[in-house]
Structure 1
Amino acid sequence: MDEVEVVVAHSERATLRVGGVFLKVDADQARIDVEIEAMSLAPVPTPEVLWHKPPVLALAALAGKPLGRLGGPSTGSRADWAAAGAAIRKLHDAPLPARVGRAGRSVVELAAELDDECEVLVTNGVLPADLVTRNRQVAEAALRPWTPAFTHGDLQIAHVFVDDGGVTGIIDWSEAGQGDALYDLATFALGHEEHLDDVIAGYGKDVDLDVIHAWSSLRSLLAVRWLMEHGFDPFEPGCEVDVLRSRM
């Protein structure tokens, strides 16, 4: 029998791998529903859905390997990063899904959430006040009107699989929906901005780097406490806190 590998596990969801099958267990059926629908609509490679019996979604393993991970080195070549940029552009140019995704929250909602979170981070001594204040200033550039695109919503580099300069699949679509395309690009380049030029070359469209940096700061500020509360360490080298420090 194949070993059971725990890929990720926290109080909201868990992903297990048994041989060539990934089993996603999610307490929120709505997230699984979003994931299945998004994968059926996305014009990029996604895992094959083998079966679905709530609360479990079974997916076939993808060929290739993840492009990298936050806090670790990228295993991909420049061609891999450019291919990922091209795949992201194809997604962003696709017809819009009906649902508004994580990357599509309103400017008013985001600003209020960000201000509340910044206050908690400082009041509770999670992060230094000057670090929070500086990144809140940087994040302001993301709070502007944007044209809706089909966004993944959680486009970490670990969610993009590549092989020999091509994208073999993109996983974890539970946050997908209409949103700001630059949110996806910022999430993808988080902690690996040295590869951003290759991503943009593959993307094939001019983008506002200030807005990408703003989304990186905003996303990191909002993620720090959640990560700590769910067993992850945003203070590890190359992770969210280092991203925030890079803006100083």
Structure 2
Amino acid sequence: MDEVEVEVVVAHSERATLRVGDVFLKVDADQARLDTEVEAMALVPVPTPEVLWHKPPVLALAAVPGTTLGRLGGPSTGSPAAWAAAGAAIRKLHEAPLPPWPARGKPIEELTAELDAECEQLISHSVLPASLVTRNRQVAEAALRPWTEMFTHGDLQIAHVFVDGDEVTGIIDWSEAGPGDALYDLATFTLGHEEHLPDVIAGYGTDVDLDVIRGWWSLRSLLVIRWLTDHGFDPFAPGCEVDVLKSRM
């Protein structure tokens, strides 16, 4: 009998994901997040993992076929057609009827206050040069505007989209799903892979405000630098969040 290994996919103080063979086990003390994930996957018109069982605080999901388009800080293995297919799938999600729960994100005023406080911390603790923080705070301003709510994934990192050839086979990690800004999804998906944004937009099939997408790149990166560092991740690694900020200079 072959021995099945347990792989820690991600683990920090809020939640953990383990892979055991072809099964993913998500452990989350916040039952609402797991409930949202299950409900969202039942509603969205895009491929998602099969739910094997759900016994809080654990959710068991079947592995999704295919591979991801890449990862933040690493090369992209996907073709332009694969990125375009991802854009088409994202558009399909955004056109779906809104879910029956409220948005999980913060109001613009609260988000602005949080961003300003975080920028102050980054500068006062010498985490990043003041010029870098100030420039990206200016760029981030474009994202701080009213938007029409759409059904959004809420954490659409490149590692959450799987493809086989030029076909999207699954989108995972729906715990942040809900009404939100469509351009935030597009920005999160292309973070650190700006060169593929034209392919994604081509598949998405409609004009988007590039200044807003760049604003979300800066805003998201500024907000997570200290959190990532505190939880054992490295935002200073090549191609990651700090490099995203530097690209705006």
TM-score bracket relative to the smaller structure? over 0.9
Check whether the contact 1:82–1:198 (CA below 8 A) recurs between aligned residues: yes
Q: Report % sequence identity.
A: 80
Cα distance between partner residues in 2 of 1:172 and 1:110: 23
- Give the superposed CA RMSD: 0.9
Specify which of 16, 19, 27 is matched with residue 17 of structure 1.
19
Structure 2 residue aligned with 1:223: 224
What is the deviation of 1:125?
1.0
SS of residue matched to 1:188: helix
Structure 2 residue aligned with 1:166: 167
What is the deviation of 1:105?
2.6
Cα distance between partner residues in 2 of 1:144 and 1:101: 16
Q: Residue type matched to 1:214 in 2?
A: G
Cα distance between partner residues in 2 of 1:100 and 1:205: 26
Cα distance between partner residues in 1 of 2:111 and 2:245: 18
Cα distance between partner residues in 2 of 1:193 and 1:36: 31
Cα distance between partner residues in 2 of 1:173 and 1:100: 15
Cα distance between partner residues in 1 of 2:193 and 2:155: 15
Structure 2 residue aligned with 1:195: 196
1:32-181 equivalences under 5 Å are 32-102=34-104, 104-181=105-182
Structure 2 residue aligned with 1:213: 214
Cα distance between partner residues in 1 of 2:205 and 2:107: 27
Check whether the contact 1:117–1:222 (CA below 8 A) recurs between aligned residues: yes
Cα distance between partner residues in 1 of 2:169 and 2:219: 30
Check whether the contact 1:100–1:179 (CA below 8 A) recurs between aligned residues: no
Cα distance between partner residues in 2 of 1:112 and 1:11: 25
**Count of equivalent residues:** 247
For normalisation by structure 2, the TM-score amounts to 0.97
SS of residue matched to 1:162: strand
Q: Residue type matched to 1:71 in 2?
A: G
Cα distance between partner residues in 1 of 2:182 and 2:202: 15
Structure 2 residue aligned with 1:5: 7
SS of residue matched to 1:75: coil
* Runs of 4+ deviating beyond 4 Å: none
SS of residue matched to 2:10: strand
* Residues 52-82 of structure 1: CA deviation (Å, up to 9, x unaligned): 1111100000110111100000111111100
Q: Residue type matched to 1:67 in 2?
A: L
What is the deviation of 1:30?
1.2
Cα distance between partner residues in 2 of 1:183 and 1:67: 18
Q: Residue type matched to 2:79 in 1?
A: S
Cα distance between partner residues in 1 of 2:106 and 2:200: 24
* Residues 114-139 of structure 1: CA deviation (Å, up to 9, x unaligned): 01111111111111111110000000
In the alignment, structure 1 segments of 5+ residues that lack a partner are none
Q: Residue type matched to 1:107 in 2?
A: I
